[in-house]
Chains A and B, each alone.
Chain A
Amino acid sequence: MIIQFNTRAPVYMQVVDYFKKKMALGELQAGEEMPSRRELATELKINPNTVQKAFKEMEEQQLITTERNRPSRVTTDEHVLKRIRTELVDEAVAVFVESIQELDVTMDELVDKIKRQYGEGNLDDRSTGS
């Protein structure tokens, strides 16, 4: 498990985002046990207090549940898991839109390009010129 951290964003938020992504992709199933905080800190080479903060944040966002003296588990609440997915997609689209707006592209052109590139998968290098 490796996270490429951004030094300018809070590390605990990056840890939270990392787990959100895993949950959204189903790599972490509903109800699955989370790694222990200590293990995680050692593995990511970050401060245990930061991991603790990330877990607290995830608890507040109801992504995980923790019972006393038990390992934390991913929530079984389908709504929450759906919400994470929506959230992640929204965030990614927002970033995309923001950067594309700077280039002053019309909506039709954009939609057209998206359709084409999405269909072609990764064979997109030539299309940028047209």
Chain B
Amino acid sequence: MIEVLGVKKRYRKKQVIEDVSFTAQKGEITCLLGLNGTGKSTILKGIMGLTPFDQGTVLVDGKSIDLNRVAFVPDHSTFPIHFTIEQCEAFMRDFYPTFDPKLFARLVDEFKLFPEDKLSELSKGTLAKVNLALGIAQDPDYLLLDEPFSGIDVFSKEQIVELFSSDIMEDRGVLITTHEIEDIEYLVDKAVMLNRGRIVREFDVEDVRFIHGKSIVDVMREEYGA
């Protein structure tokens, strides 16, 4: 379980995150929802220690984060654009001890990627798949994804969604941010809604459908709608 406990973050004069706490379970897909600029990415980066929080703690299975067990997939490439997919893989093999080349090869195959392609030549959808493959191949217990669907084509979306319901993701905990819930409406177990730097709702998606007959979008409309 990933526990985010009372975290706060300020940029310049703006308090981006005010006292946020929530949990994400292993074996479940938790979705961090919010309009653009509500600090979703900041929370993921904070969990990974890329942008330290001003206050608060993050625990992964009760301990401070171990980067061997938690992988982060940002919404942009983290490699220089003149790199080929192969070169990215070589780097990962060298410096990420848990990186599994077999798993990566399987993902390359499933996503129909060409290892000799340069990152600069790839479409946004393909780049998203490369990022995802590099993240999953670290074979982590927890996977954090920042806006994996934003701005990519329908077919890439479908492929990624399929991957989430496949055995590759079995037993992993997934924390995903998005502002377009439609893409993963049927994938998520739990939704955590963020508004103006605070958690406004945290709910089991099927419960809300069952008890209130509401979709995630209905709840979002209640919370964000004018």
Task: Report which A residues bind B (CB closer than 8 A).
Answer: 5, 7-13, 38, 41-42, 44-50, 53
Chain A residues near B210 (CB, 8 Å)? 9-10, 13
Residue B162 is within 8 A (CB to CB) of chain A in the complex? yes
Chain A residues near B162 (CB, 8 Å)? 42, 45
Q: Which residue of B lies closest to A13 (CB)?
A: B210
In the complex with contacts A38-B166, A38-B167, A46-B165, A12-B186 CB distance below 8 A: no
Q: Which residue of A lies closest to B217 (CB)?
A: A7
- Contact (Cβ within 8 A) A8 B218: yes
- Contact (Cβ within 8 A) A8 B186: no
- Contact (Cβ within 8 A) B209 A50: no
B9 nearest CB across to chain A (Å): 30
Point out the residue from A7, A8, A9, A47 that lies within 8 Å of B165, measured CB to CB: A47
Point out the residue from A11, A12, A42, A49 that lies within 8 Å of B166, measured CB to CB: A42
Give bound CA distance, A53 to B28, whole Å. 13
Which of B189, B206, B216, B217 neighbours the largest number of chain A CB atoms within 10 Å of its CB? Answer: B206
- Contact (Cβ within 8 A) A9 B29: no
Q: Which residue of A lies closest to B158 (CB)?
A: A45
In the complex with contacts A12-B206, A49-B28, A7-B166 CB distance below 8 A: no
Residue B188 is within 8 A (CB to CB) of chain A in the complex? yes
- Contact (Cβ within 8 A) A41 B215: no
Chain B residues near A9 (CB, 8 Å)? 209-210, 213
Known: A7-B218, A9-B209. 5 other contacts (CB 8 A): A10-B209, A42-B165, A44-B165, A49-B27, A50-B186
Residue B121 is within 8 A (CB to CB) of chain A in the complex? no
Residue B214 is within 8 A (CB to CB) of chain A in the complex? yes
Q: List 29 A-B contacts (CB under 8 A).
A: A7-B209, A8-B209, A8-B214, A8-B215, A9-B209, A9-B213, A10-B206, A10-B209, A10-B210, A11-B206, A11-B209, A13-B210, A38-B166, A38-B170, A44-B165, A45-B158, A45-B161, A45-B162, A45-B187, A46-B165, A46-B186, A47-B164, A47-B186, A47-B187, A47-B188, A48-B170, A49-B27, A49-B189, A50-B186
B165 nearest CB across to chain A (Å): 4
Chain A residues near B215 (CB, 8 Å)? 7-8
In the complex with contacts A45-B187, A49-B189, A7-B216 CB distance below 8 A: yes
Residue B185 is within 8 A (CB to CB) of chain A in the complex? yes
Point out the residue from B27, B29, B170, B213 that lies within 8 Å of A8, measured CB to CB: B213
Give bound CA distance, A9 to B216, whole Å. 11
Give bound CA distance, A115 to B173, whole Å. 55
Give bound CA distance, A9 to B213, whole Å. 6
A35 nearest CB across to chain B (Å): 13
